[in-house]
Amino acid sequence: MKLGITCYPTYGGSGAVATELGIALAARGHEVHFITYEHPFRLPHFLPRVHFHEVDIGRYPLFEYPPYDLALAVRMHDVVLSQGLDLLHVHYAIPHATSAWIAKEMLKEQGRNLPVVTTLHGTDITIVGQDSSYHAITRFSIERSDRITSVSQWLKEETVRAFGCGNCRVDVIPNFVDPTEFHRAKHTNGLRAELGGGKRILMHISNMRPVKRLGDVVRIFAQVREQVPSVLVLVGDGPDRREAEETARELGVLGDVRCLGKIDEVAPLLAAADLYLLPSESESFGLSALEALASGVPVVASAVGGLPEVVQDGVTGALRPVGDVAGMAAAAVALLEPARWSAASAAAAADARSRFATADVVGRYEALYAEALQQVR
Ligand code: GMT
């Protein structure tokens, strides 16, 4: 198949999933065309059968807010025609599903009925899509997609609840992980000694927005550190990073917090970690938690959203209510006990491989594409 994929190319779970999906589809023989405003961050510069088409929004002094969604629709229309694409798959509904619908309507003038698949990832449904400025267009664009997928059962139910599209068929296709790349034994690169200096390593990776509750990450760490010599490694950047550093200073633990900033390849870092912390306010899936589990790193997270579909409480990690810093810290200390850690680490890697391996999940997308193509014929 010739597939167009649109996503946010910058740091974030939806862009990571979309890019890994495109790479896996190309490896399975499909031709993949990324259509977005920047080179996706997880895309190496050249891969066979992978193409990148930049969306140029142009600049005109009249526009305080250049209409990216229109430029994207035009680029989609153009790439479908010039490259003979069979299908468009957009990740994150806003504005990608809307642009795809416009492109689809434009293509009707060329006698094409192009199937559009929309994958819902999280805040497109839970936060941004529920803002009154976007609610109606999000609902409209989801309903106009030929097929809709969501990354967890929880997100599917939330979509029906928030948008009331009872007639929409939403297929749950979970996120996935490459078990050969996210593999503890693959990365023996001295990072453990470099980052931990003999102490246990707690890690958190995110775009550091309020929904991640970065302050809780620091507070959990401070409580763990009272009982277990440990360091906290923070990867990524975002609006809450500075405040988290301030919290660490106030708690007297800043000297054991390492802020690494944005790093593209996180598999070697995760392979060096002992525990992964994700105490989010909301999380439709928690891709970074899955990548940690595959790397043999037990996860301490909030019992919220789609996280219980990813982390098995008491087996591959621990789930506690949002904001339960003391509960998460106690669970983390218990998980760091050597025998308990070994069992949880082995269970985490095995569970990630058995339920979320790339080959199985990508096969489900291929089957869905084939059905979508049949549907519009
Ligand atoms: O940051 C992004 O690219 C999207 C982001 C979001 O806020 O929607 O992440 C979501 O998509 C990821 C990939 O499917 C999920 O693993 C995250 O759980 C989800 N984030 C939230 O729901 C907060």
Which CATH number characterizes residue 156's domain? Answer: 3.40.50.2000
276 and 368 inside one domain: no
Burial, 133: exposed, middle or buried (Cβ in 10 Å; 0-12, 13-18, 19+)? exposed
Confidence of residue 176 (pLDDT cuts 50, 70, 90): very high
Residue 7: CB atoms within 10 A of its CB come to: 25
30 and 90 inside one domain: yes
Is the pLDDT score of 113 beyond 80? Answer: yes
Domain extent, residue 92, equals 2-176+358-376
CA of 121 from ligand 1 middle (Å) equals 5
Is the pLDDT score of 257 beyond 80? Answer: yes
196 and 207 inside one domain: yes
197 and 232 inside one domain: yes
Is the pLDDT score of 174 beyond 90? Answer: yes
Estimate to the nearest angstrom the gap between the alpha carbon of 237 and the chain centroid: 15
Give per-residue pLDDT as tens, 33-56: 999 999 998 887 789 999 999 999
CA angle 3, 9, 136 (to 5 degrees): 80
The verdict on the CB of residue 175 being under 6 Å from ligand 1 is yes
Q: Whose CA is nearest to atom 19 of ligand 1?
A: 122
Estimate to the nearest angstrom the gap between the alpha carbon of 23 and the chain centroid: 15
The number of folded domains in the chain is 2
Q: Quick check: 93 and 131 in contact, CB under 8 A? A: no
Is the pLDDT score of 165 beyond 90? Answer: no
Is the pLDDT score of 170 beyond 90? Answer: yes
CA distance 99 to 121: 17
CA of 13 from ligand 1 middle (Å) equals 5
Least confident piece of the model among 121-130, 234-243, 348-357: 121-130
CA of 93 from ligand 1 middle (Å) equals 12
259 and 290 inside one domain: yes
The verdict on the CB of residue 14 being under 6 Å from ligand 1 is yes
Q: What is the rounded end-to-end Cα distance, in angstroms, of the chain?
A: 15
Confidence of residue 239 (pLDDT cuts 50, 70, 90): very high
Nearest to 169 by CA among 139, 145, 140, 148: 148
350 and 272 inside one domain: yes
CA of 208 from ligand 1 middle (Å) equals 12
CA angle 375, 144, 39 (to 5 degrees): 95
The token pair at 355 is 């339920």
The verdict on the CB of residue 151 being under 6 Å from ligand 1 is yes
Q: Which run of H or E residues covers position 300?
A: strand 299-302
Best mutation site among 6, 123, 205 for ligand 1, i.e. most ligand atoms within 8 A of its Cβ? 123
Q: Whose CA is nearest to atom 21 of ligand 1?
A: 283
CA of 282 from ligand 1 middle (Å) equals 9
362 and 349 inside one domain: no
210 and 278 inside one domain: yes
Best mutation site among 285, 293, 307, 356 for ligand 1, i.e. most ligand atoms within 8 A of its Cβ? 285
Ligand 1 atom having least distance to the Cα of 288:
16
Helix axes 93-107, 135-144, angle to 10 degrees: 50
> Tokens 């409480």, residue?
313
Best mutation site among 20, 90, 153, 284 for ligand 1, i.e. most ligand atoms within 8 A of its Cβ? 284
The verdict on the CB of residue 22 being under 6 Å from ligand 1 is no
Q: Whose CA is nearest to atom 9 of ligand 1?
A: 13
CA of 124 from ligand 1 middle (Å) equals 9
29 and 61 inside one domain: yes
The token pair at 265 is 């390849």
292 and 151 inside one domain: no
Helix axes 287-294, 338-356, angle to 10 degrees: 110
Ligand 1 atom having least distance to the Cα of 289:
16
Averaged pLDDT, 87-101: 98
Q: Whose CA is nearest to atom 5 of ligand 1?
A: 13
97 and 151 inside one domain: yes
Ligand 1 atom having least distance to the Cα of 285:
18
Is the pLDDT score of 133 beyond 90? Answer: yes
CA of 180 from ligand 1 middle (Å) equals 23
CA distance 279 to 228: 20
Nearest to 258 by CA among 175, 196, 192: 196
> Tokens 């200096």, residue?
197
The verdict on the CB of residue 121 being under 6 Å from ligand 1 is yes
Check whether the bond before 95 is cis (ω within 30° of 0). Answer: yes
The verdict on the CB of residue 13 being under 6 Å from ligand 1 is yes
Q: Quick check: 11 and 206 in contact, CB under 8 A? A: no
Averaged pLDDT, 4-27: 94
CA distance 272 to 205: 13
259 and 297 inside one domain: yes
Give per-residue pLDDT as tens, 357-375: 999 999 999 999 999 999 9
CA of 288 from ligand 1 middle (Å) equals 10
The verdict on the CB of residue 122 being under 6 Å from ligand 1 is yes
